[in-house]
Amino acid sequence: MLEVRGHARGGQGMVTAFEILAKIFSHSGKYQVQAFPAFGVERTGAPIQAFLRISKEPILNRSNVYHPHLILVFDEALIEQVPVFDGIRSGGSVLFNTDRDPEEFSGKADKIYTIPATKISLEKGLGSKSLPIVNAAMIGAVIKILDADINIAKQIIGNNVPSKPVENMKAAEVAYNSLTGIDSINKFLLGSIETGNDGEETLLLADEQKKQFLVQLEEIPKVPYWSQPMSLNKTGNWRVLTPTYVTRDAPCTTNCPAGTDVRKFVDLTSEKKFVEAYDVIYEHNPFPSVCGRVCPHFCEQNCNRMELDEGLNIGSIERFLGDRSFKSELKSYKITQKEKIAVVGAGPAGLTAALRLTEKGYPTTVFEALPYAGGMMRTGIPEFRLPKNILDEEIKRIERQGVNIILNKKVTVKELENDFNAVIVAVGSHIGSKMNIPDEDIVLDGIVFLHNFKMKNDNQGVSKDDEVAIIGGGNTAIDVARTILRLGGKPTIYYRRTRKEMPAIAHEVDEALAEGVEIKFLTAPVGISKNDRIDLTLIDMELGEPDESGRRRPVPIKGSESTVTADKIIAAIGQKPDDFVFAGNEIKASQGKIEYDASVAVFCSGDMAWGGTVTEAIGSGNKVAEEVNAFFRGEPYSHEETEKDIVIPAELNFAYYLPTSRTQNPVKKSRDFYNDFDEVIKGLTESEILIESKRCLHCGDCFSCGNCYNYCPDAAIFIDEENRLRIDYDYCKGCGICAQECPCSAINFQMNEVVL
């Protein structure tokens, strides 16, 4: 009985080859055959085995082949991985698929054959370079060695291969003909077919005494369980798809214009690491207390938790961290750079840029036209939204870190160019836009009104019970209206679009309405006439096609004019920058370095460049500081954003989060806000902050929930010395349950091998 053992990789066609060889040798009717693979759970590329017996007599053995006469090696690289030569019979042969000469394998067996089956197969277009299907060529070589009929073999190959019969037949023939030499036909092997089962059991018993392959009973638990990977079965080589832990982008973080790592500071807060959490914010935003109050909370707008119940109250967490940190320790910075930087404007953009450059070691001076720093945060946001002392504390911190602010100094770029190497212009947008209607001079400017009232306590003629018409739909309009209310007036806002298009922060609009502010939508002023009061003529609007801002353009409805009477009219329809800094030249301000006729580099930042909120101005300040540094260091700088891999709700497993309601801030309620300038929105307590921060879903960031660890059927997930969850790829069979059950989409599951 001839016994053959094959070694190949899954996908090379070996099991089919052995079945075809069985068919070829049984074809004559002279021989009994038996062909079978070693049964495992195999996959493409994994080492596999197959067995073939050919005998003149009935085959009286159904076990694996341990002592082959002939070994077929379909991939020579397997020699390093698998004991391919084990148990070869004395006088036995090995056939290698290789381009090398038989001499290079001498000593491995009494007779070595080599055949370039990969080359032959690829020439015939069988399989791919990474996985050539070499079975027909290997069959051809075996036919030669065993002196069988190549024509019958070709016919059987043609009838039994799953595809490309002609190419496979040709490959077999090429291999058959290329195995030359007088002793290609192996008499020893042919002889073995004719004899019976020659003492296999004696050989095997001798093997057993040599090997210690019996597993000791004590090593096996009574119950088939494993809390660590099951050492009995290394299932890692089953894997086609591979899970890996990844950190993906969270929508809160990617949406923050300042660039704050929101997910991280929320996480640290939930662990009660308030100092570390504050530091994370401060890295991008030196105004957490301000932003916690007045930012539209871009981070909350795409919070994935909104799909489950209610988005996280991130603003309050930021506010809490900011307010408890006024007295905390600060780093101070040494001047290490020679280039001197001037910043024009002490608003959020200018101060942030100055702080960043100070951190980087640049001597930096901020020039402020007004007698106080803070820009629009100071002059444009009413006390009931942002108390003065909060802003004072955050600016004080910046100054304590070495930023020099010179107040009451309205400068032009020209004045600075001799003393500085770069000028950052961040003068904001403090000049109110005009409505361009006749007799507009009797209309008050909203931004001026807010400034004068807050800084000089000047109510600008607004008396108790005055009816005040406010034109606009932004935050200034809302702030003006709520200030009027507190002065005892009756404010009505007229806005040309609908509530949906209002640029004001939504919760501010809600609060204004709750306080008693009236808002009329889809109406715009067309005329004013002054008598003892003021008649304001309005025209109704309807929404047309979207404009460049993406909002639907308001279109007047002909003949729909109507008139209302008011005591005061205040316009809040937008602001523009003061061009004094450029000596009255009209400059198109844009983020970063601009073309300007000066002997120093000039950069723009803040409201005048882009945005319109405090947080955007802060982000703009961070960016301009990076750009200035890159400019002086001769490094490349790009305004391009890197592509983000943002976790979307569909990628989260909401079943693993308990629905809980958002911890809302207490809002001051009153029947009458007359003369009440107290802060309207109150902060949350420490215990409320802890509850709220723990509601974070940790989108795209492993929070060690252990679902993967619990669900892995092979216990292939372990906790490493740094207390992180990790995958043992020796045992991970690539089932994907971990990725499926990961609540926060922090496990990638893809068709690629992990290189450890």
DSSP string over 349-363: HHHHHHHHHHHTT--
Among residues 125, 199, 659, 666, which is the contact residue for another protein, using CB under 8 A? 199
Among residues 36, 85, 631, 711, which is the contact residue for another protein, using CB under 8 A? 36
111's enclosing H/E stretch is strand 111-115
Cα 661 from Cα 665, distance rounded (Å)? 12
CA 60, 65, 71, 74 torsion-angle sign: positive
Given the complex with another protein, which of 205 and 719 has the nearer CB atom?
Answer: 205
Site string for another protein, 147-186 (x = CB under 8 A): x-x-------------------------------------
Given the complex with another protein, which of 63 and 332 has the nearer CB atom?
Answer: 63
Asked if 39 interacts with another protein (CB under 8 A), we say yes
Asked if 204 interacts with another protein (CB under 8 A), we say yes
CA distances from 15 to 53, 132, 135, 614 (A): 13, 15, 9, 69
Site string for another protein, 61-80 (x = CB under 8 A): xxxx-x--------------
Given the complex with another protein, which of 2 and 628 has the nearer CB atom?
Answer: 2
DSSP string over 52-105: EEEESS-----S--SS-SEEEES-GGGGGTS-TTTTPPTT-EEEEESSS-GGGG
In the complex, minimum distance from the CB of residue 277 to another protein, in angstroms, rounded to a whole number: 47
Tokens of 182: 């007088």
In the complex, minimum distance from the CB of residue 213 to another protein, in angstroms, rounded to a whole number: 9
**Three-class SS of residue 8?**
strand
Asked if 34 interacts with another protein (CB under 8 A), we say yes
626 CB-near residues (< 8 Å, 6+ apart)? 356, 637
Asked if 28 interacts with another protein (CB under 8 A), we say yes
76 CB-near residues (< 8 Å, 6+ apart)? 96, 97, 98, 100
741 CB-near residues (< 8 Å, 6+ apart)? 653, 656, 707, 708, 711
137's enclosing H/E stretch is helix 135-145
Asked if 196 interacts with another protein (CB under 8 A), we say yes
Q: Where are the alpha helices (DSSP H) in 308-445?
A: 314-323, 348-359, 376-379, 388-400, 413-416
Given the complex with another protein, which of 18 and 367 has the nearer CB atom?
Answer: 18
Stretch that binds another protein, among 53-61, 118-126, 605-613, 663-671 (CB under 8 A): 53-61
Asked if 214 interacts with another protein (CB under 8 A), we say yes
Beta bridge partners of 70: 4, 93
CA 729, 735, 736, 738 torsion-angle sign: negative
Asked if 18 interacts with another protein (CB under 8 A), we say yes
Asked if 19 interacts with another protein (CB under 8 A), we say yes
Given the complex with another protein, which of 15 and 344 has the nearer CB atom?
Answer: 15
Stretch that binds another protein, among 58-66, 469-477, 611-619, 700-708 (CB under 8 A): 58-66
Determine the size of the site formed for another protein (CB under 8 A): 38
Stretch that binds another protein, among 25-33, 78-86, 381-389, 459-467 (CB under 8 A): 25-33
In the complex, minimum distance from the CB of residue 58 to another protein, in angstroms, rounded to a whole number: 8
DSSP string over 427-485: ----EEPP---TTGGGSEEHHHHHHHHHHH---TT--TT-EEEEE--SHHHHHHHHHHH
In the complex, minimum distance from the CB of residue 29 to another protein, in angstroms, rounded to a whole number: 3
Among residues 60, 330, 555, 754, which is the contact residue for another protein, using CB under 8 A? 60
Binding site for another protein (CB under 8 A): 18-19, 22-23, 26, 28-30, 32-37, 39, 41, 59-64, 66, 147, 149, 196-197, 199-202, 204-205, 207-208, 214, 217, 224
